[in-house]
Chains A and B, each alone.
Chain A
Amino acid sequence: DTGVSQNPRHKITKRGQNVTFRCDPISEHNRLYWYRQTLGQGPEFLTYFQNEAQLEKSRLLSDRFSAERPKGSFSTLEIQRTEQGDSAMYLCASSPQGLNTEAFFGQGTRLTVV
């Protein structure tokens, strides 16, 4: 399968714990995005990578959130000291270089903070 892969699919964690999610984009795509989606809302932009460089980060993103994309391949999103408000679906997408190219999304990681 050559689609975007996200792991784990589900994560339940206790408040205050750290969690890390992984995204494997489509191999030839150099752009990678992280989004967060809560129930009844559209996905909200978190951050964007072009190859290994993190070029944009949402101003709404807490300092507890950090993302990396070493070597410009897979990416990880870490949330430190999780809070109940972090409960959401975290979506990863990738796209090729160029104008007007669509993003291909993974199935997401559903985080529940208890």
Chain B
Amino acid sequence: AQSVTQLDSHVSVSEGTPVLLRCNYSSSYSPSLFWYVQHPNKGLQLLLKYTSAATLVKGINGFEAEFKKSETSFHLTKPSAHMSDAAEYFCVVPSSASKIIFGSGTRLSIRP
């Protein structure tokens, strides 16, 4: 069965410091993985996606993620947090041709 586990429900960092949001996956269907972001009162937006072309994937707003098959991980990082990064982040894996499975989400808070 396909699944994603987001290891932290809440992460808090200071502005200007690095961000690490952790995701472990289990998928026998597809090697593709996604990160989505959800700002308050806004729709889900794709941050980046991995489709086996390169293990290090760059996304919008300075975020990137590295696919590590040996660790079954797809952690999201950003070198320097900005106040506007405060949001809910979801790691996502396709479970079939028709369905994508969301993790439970990580709420990112940024301290001034």
Contact = CB atoms under 8 A, between A and B. Distances in A.
Contacts of B43: 3-4, 91, 105-108
B49 A100 contact: yes
Contact of B98 (A4, A35, A56): A56
Interface stretch (A40-48, A59-67, A77-85): A40-48
Interface residues of A, number: 26
B32 interface: yes
**Secondary structure class of chain B's binding surface, majority of residues:** loop
B1 to A, nearest CB: 13
Given A41-B104, A99-B30, A31 B46 contact: no
Contacts of A100: 30, 32, 49, 51, 94
Nearest to A108: B43
Interface string B68-112: 000000000000000000000010001011111111110000000
Interface of B: 9, 30, 32, 34, 36, 41-46, 49, 51, 90, 94, 96-105
Interface of A: 3-4, 31, 33, 35, 40-45, 48, 50, 55-56, 91, 93, 99-100, 102-108
